[in-house]
Amino acid sequence: MNAGISSRALDYSVMKVAALFATFFIGASAWAQSDADAIIKCSVEANNVDWQAAPQYDHLERDRQPDGSTKTYEVMMILGSEYQRLVAVNGKPLSTEEQALQQQLLDEVIAQRKRESPAQRAQRIAKYEKDRKRDHMLMEQLTVAFNFNVLGERKLGPYEVYELQATPRPGYQPPNTETKVLTGMRGKLWIDKLTCQWVKVEAEVVHPVAIVGFLAQVQPGTRFELEKMPVEDAIWLPKHFSMKARARVLFLFSHNSEDDETYFDYHKASANEWK
């Protein structure tokens, strides 16, 4: 009899604990779902601040070529737009002769930009800003093209992050050709809990997307990855970007391309350096 009572009591206790765990996980899931929008909104605000600040910084950029070789550039702001000067190949500084050539090219660009008319300068800067806005729009549209679910919290490198799953949002209407690819993608975001900054973003194409105006189709296997890092105060800028593009041009011929770029040594650009 006592054994039977103990057994029923144990069964009841197990069911009660199970019910408490179920209630906890249902509540946690509801909290995560409802909080996803707040996390994304906070991250959008942080990204906008970063985007506005980016032209204030010069940096180095190392591009990996398809054959595995690398070229490193000094990326600097000169009178309103970027200029890239080659400084190393495969991690080795240029020869004295090559350095002199790169300095000559830089001097010519500076002289040319100083001679520009106001209209010419405005046109050049407008093109630079247009390219910046195009790239920024792709990042912005990530936050409206997908529905987000918080998968949990974890540590990614030195950062405590929220891990979010991104799935295509039904009815999303891309504003331009470049963002149409998002309709066929899914991805993940890792967002720093303290600053709302994107520590890492991954996205991949999971079903073909037709780009009618270009008679092309973006294929599964296309993916990109972006990592960011703090450079000063609350400003985070890109640390690494990679992309593998798989497309069928004219819906007949395959076209593949790859980009792999690492950014480092950010420092404030001098506004008076080229005047």
Mean pLDDT score, 114-130: 96
Write out pLDDT tens, residues 136-171.
Answer: 887 788 788 889 999 999 999 999 999 999 998 898
Q: What pLDDT sits at residue 83? A: 96
Q: What pLDDT sits at residue 208? A: 67
Global confidence as pTM: 0.79
Q: Does residue 186 belong to any structural domain of this protein?
A: yes
Q: Are 174 and 142 in contact (CB under 8 A)?
A: no
Q: What pLDDT sits at residue 194? A: 94
Q: Are 175 and 62 in contact (CB under 8 A)?
A: no
At residue 34 the predicted structure's pLDDT band, cuts being 50, 70 and 90, is low
Q: What percent of the chain has pLDDT over 90?
A: 54
Q: Does residue 24 belong to any structural domain of this protein?
A: no
The rounded distance, in Å, linking the Cα atoms of 183 and 175 is 11
Q: Does residue 21 belong to any structural domain of this protein?
A: no
Note down the domain range covering 193.
38-268
At residue 1 the predicted structure's pLDDT band, cuts being 50, 70 and 90, is very low
Q: Does residue 4 belong to any structural domain of this protein?
A: no
Domain count, the chain: 1
Mean pLDDT score, 86-90: 98
Mean pLDDT score, 190-219: 78
Q: Does residue 18 belong to any structural domain of this protein?
A: no
Q: What pLDDT sits at residue 239? A: 96
Q: Does residue 14 belong to any structural domain of this protein?
A: no
pLDDT at 185 over 50: yes
Q: Does residue 12 belong to any structural domain of this protein?
A: no
The residue among 256 and 105 whose pLDDT is bigger is 105
